[in-house]
Amino acid sequence: MNDAGIVRIEDLRRLKLIPPHSRMKAGPVVVVECIEEIPCDVCVAACPTRAIVKKDINSIPSVDFDKCTGCGSCLLACPGLAIFLVDLSIGSGKGRVTMPYELLPIPSKDDKVVLLNRKGEPAGEGRIVKVVRSADKTYAVTVEMEDSKVRDVRAFRVIV
């Protein structure tokens, strides 16, 4: 499989977009997977604590993970569906990823889903723990999974 169109972890790390482990342990925190200089600043305007900043409209966002409260406002606003929340605070080998979702069917709490990584490859099963709908129909869906998967899972397929 080719790598075209995949956001690479190395790039996220280089651009300091991956939160420190200690921060993930403390509760939900944002991962902004937007690593190109594109003219957009919707996330900056959406953030209530000014944790996300862009030098100008074309620069790559940078995140102050201590300011981020994990509220998810940016996740619901991002036009690129490129913002996620990760959470390693629940323990017992589990972690959670919150993902933007604009497809059908709408999942409900406790539904089982097939986890998908950035290449769309199945990565085991997860469980829906929270479904939030924004006023403009974007859903923020929180899925629980083994904590080792939190780094790679970025989508899911509802099992119907």
Binding interface with another protein (CB under 8 A) = 1-2, 4-7, 33-42, 45-46, 56-58, 77-82, 102-104, 106, 116-121, 136-138, 154-155
**Residue 122 CB contacts under 8 Å (≥ 6 apart), including other chains:** 114, 115, 116
Q: How far is the CB of 111 from another protein (least distance, A)?
A: 16
- Identify whether the C-beta of residue 122 lies closer than 8 Å to the C-beta of residue 58: no
User: Of 29 and 82, which has the nearer Cβ to another protein?
Assistant: 82
Q: Tokens for 122?
A: 């199945």
Q: How far is the CB of 112 from another protein (least distance, A)?
A: 18
Among 58, 62, 50, 63, smallest CA distance to 23 is for 63
User: Of 64 and 106, which has the nearer Cβ to another protein?
Assistant: 106
Q: How far is the CB of 26 from another protein (least distance, A)?
A: 27
- Identify whether the C-beta of residue 70 lies closer than 8 Å to the C-beta of residue 29: yes
> How do strand 83-87 and strand 62-63 relate by DSSP bridges?
unpaired
User: Of 5 and 93, which has the nearer Cβ to another protein?
Assistant: 5
User: Of 62 and 117, which has the nearer Cβ to another protein?
Assistant: 117
- In angstroms, rounded to a whole number, what is the distance separating the alpha carbons of residues 56 and 44? 10
Q: How far is the CB of 155 from another protein (least distance, A)?
A: 4
User: Of 33 and 144, which has the nearer Cβ to another protein?
Assistant: 33
Angle of CA points 95, 103, 108, to nearest 5° = 55
Q: How far is the CB of 31 from another protein (least distance, A)?
A: 12
